[in-house]
Structure formats: structure tokens, C-alpha cells
Amino acid sequence: MSWLLALPFLIPILTALATFPARGRKLLCGFISVAGCALLLAATIAILVLVETGGTRAAQMGDWAAPFGITLVADRLSAIMLLISGIVGFCVSLFSLSDIRKYRVKLGFHSFFQLLLAGVCGSFITGDLFNLYVWFEVMLIASFALLVIGGDRIQLDGGIKYVALNLVSTLLMLTSIGMTYGLTGTLNMAQLHISLAAVDNPSAVSALAVLFICAFGIKAAIFPLFFWLPASYHAPPVTVTAVFAGLLTKVGVYALIRTFTLIFPSELQFPHSILLGTALLTMLTGVLGAAAHYEFRKILAFHIISQIGFLVLGLALNSPLALAGAVFYMIHNIVAKTNLFLISGTAKRLTGSFELSEIGGLYRASPLLSFFFFIAAFSLAGFPPLSGFWAKLLLVKASLDQAAYFVVAVALITGILTLFSMSKIWAEAFLKDHPKDYCQRLQDIPRYERYERLLPVAFLALITLVLGLIPGPLIDYSLAAARELLKPGEYIEAVLGLKIQYVGNR
Amino acid sequence: MEGPLALVVGILIATGVYLMLARNLLHYLFGLILISNAANLAIFVAGRVTRAAPPLIPQGMEVAPGPIANPLPQALILTAIVIGFGLLAFALALIAQAYKVLGTLDVDTMRIAEPIPPKGEKSP
């Protein structure tokens, strides 16, 4: 089965190679890109089915036995993250057909987009720290290119801040990985679970934990390290922002979850207490930033930060229910966030601006688009019965179980402020009249473009609705994934072939 | 050997941070280059430094006769150098383009993406 686990990054890389010579012809290039994403989606579904029926799967590349070769591992968390990347990739590539102009396609937009997907999927499936670094770099260089391609002034300005701060995180990550190797002599994550527990040097392990928090924290945009995100995310075309918002920061959170459940012994208290503090501050600062802004995409960008706080909170509480909450939240958030950015792009197409003070009248122009926005926005704010409600419920229940009432209070305040800034967009962009009476109707734009813009949005909104109305299966799945994360015996057995006994009442 | 190398790493980091605190983007980039070299050197030291002992096993033997250098960190560093080189080349090209388009390298004056609202004017 090893070839199946390699598909999630092989398909996008091959698609990137195929789109590059075709980049002069916009239609053909877009078609190849969408077809590649469809294949990727099929492969990720196959992996999910495989993991769900047969448990954690590992593949050794080149048949080198585990701690020495390159290992690909798919457990429940990886599988669901891959699936959601496939879905986002497919929807965004469909949307890009109408949103990305010809000169950007000519500069290789689709190739970089596919490379970005390859980096994201590779990070989710690798079982080796150094490989994780390499996939992060693939993702990073593709995101650099996507961010500045086309070369608008605002793109260059935002791109410089993005590049400058992300290069620092790369260096921190490289250093922490090198130190891990120096301390344990291995970089295989399953082997590290055993080796790092045997290291008798608590101060070195603590230093390592902090280095990892900083390195992945910059990628994930947690509290004091997030300033590159609102500086750059509104600069490129909205297609690029949508895929960044959906996937990039989540890879950082995924790496944090992997590191602090699998690699570091989860009995280690202090990384979790650091993460708890930063999670609360991330939630609050993000949502306050969103409340202060009056630009569609800037509000959404600050919301990404605030939602990252919720994800890290799930990791920091470190109980099965909390981790399940984090997994559920991640899936819900990727869907809702990507959708909101895609909607903002269509809103710009119809009204001509992202500034809330300069636009309006969207509800009258297209009730359908307003309906989709309503679903995504109110799901993000945590309204029942949409998916965000269940995600927040799991996290709040987990905090109540640990008697962490302060955490509950912060989470609820964040929810209310989220609702406030979402209703600000709703009132300004959708309800009030357009100041220049310019707003186009959805029916006015060409038919193909309409489909290319609306189908992905409708599909993502449908997922949000289904997750909200029938949350049972995903909650069960998240709980199973959380159990696996906290007792990684199956993961280690799949990779190393060793059985590990866990004692205790977790 | 570890002592002097650690000292070199420290000096590189200190110089790098000093350069990165400057407002000029080019200084920032050079600081980053120094720190990336420091990181590579730190990994090299973390993989244990041995003198004149290449990781080779003589013909007919199963294991090396004495202590040998660890080849893995060197492989890691080689990969990291290649990747780092690509990233820094990209950053340099980006800075050059930004200078051409924006006409400045001073980060404090680069406020197109995040403009400061004029004084006295309230947001809507």
C-alpha cells in the first residue's frame, strides 16, 4: 500500500509539472489544475477509508526499516487533514478559474498552487521531523511565489513582511530539529516518542520544547508571533488568501499537535501551560483586531488568528475531549474560513471594493450569496445548529471538565466579539445600500464565471450545514483521533513494529 | 573543539541579531544569512565533533574500528544549506524588486499594506 500514501504529494507535484508548460493557455492550464485537484481529492478519500478500516498505516520509502529511512504515516488525524486539504484544493482551484487573471496564470500561478498543496499534504503525511522541515520549505517557497506573483505594490509590501518573518521561523525550526537530533540521535517521530522519554536532561528537553513552540508558533500565528499575517494576507488575489487562510496556518497547528502529543511526553506540564496562556491571548487579540478593522479581508484575517487560539486551546487542555474539540474545530474552521474568503472575492467582484465603507447592497443584489455568507459567518461565531457550535461546545465542555472557568469565559467573550464583527460585515456589506449605487447583480456576470464562483462556495456551505446538522460521525471520528494522539501505541506499532503498553487512566 | 565552535555560533547570532534590528531591509537579510549559518554550525556541533575520523568502514569489517564522525548531521546541513540558499536568493530578488517598485529599503516607510490612518480622521 506504500504507493497510496505517497500519492497526496506525488499528484500535486506531477500536476505542477504538467501545468507549467501549459501556462500560456489559461483555459487548458486551469483545466489541468482542477483535474489534478480532483485526483488528489480521490486519493485522500481512499486514504481516509484505508485508515478507517485498517487503522494507522505506515509506509517505508525504499524499504529502509523505520528509524533510518523516510517514513510516511497516516493515522486518523493525518487522514482527515489530508481529506480536508483535498476538498479545499479542489474548491479553490475551481474558484481560481475566474478569479486569477491571465497574466498571473502566465507567470505560473497554477504550478505554485499545486506545489503549495504538495507541501501541505507532505507535511500531514510524513513521519519524520526533517522531512517535515523539507515539506514546510516546499510550502513556504510556493506561498512566497503565490503572494508576490503579479507584483502589485501592495503585494510586494505585504510579501516582504511575510518573507522576513517566516524565514526566522524556518531558522528556529531547523535549529530545534538539529538539537533534537543531537539529544536523541533520531528524527523519526515514533522513535522520538521512545528516545526523548529516555533523555535524562530535563532542562535541555524544556529548551527544545520552547524552541518548537516558537518555530511552529510563527507558522501557526499564535499570540506574540502573528504580525506577519494581518500585514500580508489581504495583499494577493483572494484565491491565494483563501487557500492560505484555509491551510497554511493549520499546518503549523498540526505540527504543534504532533509535536506535543507524539514527540514530547504528554506528562510534560509546562509546554501545555505556555500554550494555554498564548491560546487565550491569541483568541482575544485576534478578535479585538477584527473588531477594529473596516476592510472585509482584514477582518477575516484577524479572525484566523483568533480561531488559531481555539485550536491551540484544545491542545493545551490536553484531555481526550479537548483534543477531539481541536480536531473538529480545525475541520469546521478550514471549511468556513476558506468559504468566507471566497465569498469576499465574489463580493469584491460585484461591488468593486473590499472597504466596508465603500460597498453595500449585496443582499438585494444576490440573496443567494448572502445566504452562503450567513451560513459561514454564523458558523464561525458558533451559532447552533451550525458546525462552529459543536466545535465550541466540545472545547467548552472540556474546559468545564477541568474546572477552567476562566478559559470558558474567554472563549464565550471571543464568540460574542466574533459575532459582533461578523454582523458588522453583514450590516455594512449586505444590508446597507451601496454608496455609489454601483452593485452588480449576480445574474449580470457571465454564466461560466458565475458557476466557477458559486459552485465552490455552495459546496463548502453545504459541508458546514451537514457538519452542523449531523455532527455525530465527525465527533466520533475526532474522539477516536484524540485517543490515538494521547496513546500513540498504534502509531508506533505501525511505524516501528513495537508494542507499547500505556498505563494510567487517560 | 565544542567550546570555540559554540563561541563562534554565539558571535554569529549576536552579529546577526544586531543587523536584523536595523530598519534597512538589506541589513536584515544579511543578519538572516549570518544566523542561518549559525544554525547550521549549531547542528553540526550537536552531532558531536570528532577529529580526523571519517565515517568509513574498512573492507572486510562489519563496524568501524574506532569512534567515527557522524555523517547524518552533515547530510542534514547540506540539505538545509541548499534550501536556505534558495530562500535567501528569493528574498534578495524580492528586496531588489521592492526597491525598484517602492523606491525604498526602509521598512518604516513601507506602509502600503497597512496604511496609518491620517490624524483626526475617524474610521467610519
A107-154 residue pLDDT tens: 999 999 999 999 999 999 998 899 999 999 999 999 999 999 888 888
pLDDT of B13 > 90? The answer is yes
Give the per-residue pLDDT at B11: 96
Show residues of chain B in contact with A128, CB under 8 Å: none
Reported as a pLDDT band with limits 50, 70 and 90, residue B121 is low
Reported as a pLDDT band with limits 50, 70 and 90, residue A64 is confident
User: Chain A neighbours among B 15-44 (CB < 8 Å)?
Assistant: 25, 28, 32, 35-36, 39-40, 42-43
What residues are paired with A58 via a beta bridge?
A: A73
pLDDT of B122 > 80? The answer is no
Contact A148 B94 (CB under 8 A): yes
Q: CA–CA separation, B17 vs B28, rounded Å?
A: 8
Q: Residue A148's closest CA among B101, B12, B55, B117?
A: B101
Reported as a pLDDT band with limits 50, 70 and 90, residue A505 is very low
A299-357 residue pLDDT tens: 999 999 999 999 999 999 988 999 999 999 999 999 999 999 999 998 888 888 888 88
Least confident of A122-126, A276-280, B38-42, B67-71: B67-71
A411-440 residue pLDDT tens: 999 999 999 888 888 888 888 888 877 777
Distance from CA of B5 to the nearest CA of A (A): 15
Reported as a pLDDT band with limits 50, 70 and 90, residue A506 is very low
Interface of A with B (CB under 8 A): 130, 133-134, 137, 140-141, 144-145, 148, 151, 153-154, 156-161, 163-164, 167-168, 170-171, 174-175, 177-179, 181-183, 230-232, 234-235, 294, 356-357
Q: CA–CA separation, A167 vs B36, rounded Å?
A: 9
A181-231 residue pLDDT tens: 888 888 889 899 888 888 888 888 989 999 999 999 999 999 889 989 988
Please report how the helices A405-425 and A367-381 are oriented relative to each other, as an axis angle in degrees rounded to 10. Answer: 170
What value does the mean pLDDT take over residues B95-108?
Answer: 87
A250-278 residue pLDDT tens: 999 999 999 999 888 777 788 889 999 99
Contact A181 B43 (CB under 8 A): yes
Alpha-carbon distances of A119 from A126, A137, A139, rounded to whole Å: 11, 8, 4
Contact B73 A230 (CB under 8 A): no
Distance from CA of A38 to the nearest CA of B (A): 30
Least confident of A21-35, B81-95, B106-120: B106-120
**Considering chain B, what percentage of its residues have pLDDT values greater than 70?**
94
A356-404 residue pLDDT tens: 888 888 888 888 889 999 999 989 888 888 888 999 999 999 999 988 8
Across the interface, which of A157, A174, A182 has its CB nearest the CB of B112?
A: A157
Q: CB-based contact (8 Å) between B46 and chain A?
A: yes
Q: CB-based contact (8 Å) between B93 and chain A?
A: no
Mutate to test the interface with A, among B112, B121, B123 (most CBs of A within 10 A): B112
Q: CA–CA separation, B72 vs A176, rounded Å?
A: 16
Q: CA–CA separation, A70 vs A72, rounded Å?
A: 7
Q: CB-based contact (8 Å) between B91 and chain A?
A: yes
pLDDT of A30 > 50? The answer is yes
| Average pLDDT across chain A, whole number | 89
Across the interface, which of B47, B113, B123 has its CB nearest the CB of A182?
A: B47
User: For residues A425 and A352, is the Cβ–Cβ distance under 8 A?
Assistant: no
pLDDT of A15 > 60? The answer is yes
The dihedral region occupied by B60, where left means phi > 0, alpha psi between -120 and 50, and beta the remainder, is left
Give the per-residue pLDDT at A35: 95
Give the per-residue pLDDT at A461: 94
Distance from CA of B30 to the nearest CA of A (A): 12
Give the per-residue pLDDT at A367: 87
Residues 6 or more apart from A416 whose CB is under 8 A from it? Answer: none
Show residues of chain A in contact with B75, CB under 8 Å: none
Contact B123 A294 (CB under 8 A): yes
Going A290 to A293 to A297 to A302, the CA torsion angle's sign is negative
- Report ipTM for this prediction: 0.89
Give the per-residue pLDDT at A406: 92
Detail the DSSP E strand segments found in A248-329: none
Give the per-residue pLDDT at A255: 94
Distance from CA of A356 to the nearest CA of B (A): 9
User: For residues A380 and A303, is the Cβ–Cβ distance under 8 A?
Assistant: yes
Contact B113 A141 (CB under 8 A): no
> How many beta-carbon pairs under 8 angstroms link A with B?
107
Distance from CA of A163 to the nearest CA of B (A): 7
Cell representation of residue A272: 501545555
Q: CA–CA separation, B121 vs A369, rounded Å?
A: 33
Across the interface, which of B80, B94, B110 has its CB nearest the CB of A174?
A: B80
Give the per-residue pLDDT at A68: 79
What value does the mean pLDDT take over residues B29-51?
Answer: 88
Across the interface, which of B42, B79, B113 has its CB nearest the CB of A158?
A: B113
Reported as a pLDDT band with limits 50, 70 and 90, residue B74 is confident
Distance from CA of B60 to the nearest CA of A (A): 23
User: For residues A481 and A75, is the Cβ–Cβ distance under 8 A?
Assistant: yes
Give the per-residue pLDDT at A356: 84
User: For residues A172 and A213, is the Cβ–Cβ distance under 8 A?
Assistant: no
Reported as a pLDDT band with limits 50, 70 and 90, residue A37 is very high
Q: Quick one: DSSP state of residue A224?
A: G
A78-87 residue pLDDT tens: 999 999 999 9
Across the interface, which of B47, B91, B98 has its CB nearest the CB of A156?
A: B98
Q: CA–CA separation, A6 vs A126, rounded Å?
A: 9
User: For residues A487 and A500, is the Cβ–Cβ distance under 8 A?
Assistant: no
A235-245 residue pLDDT tens: 899 999 999 99
Q: Residue A292's closest CA among A161, A301, A427?
A: A301
Contact B113 A154 (CB under 8 A): yes
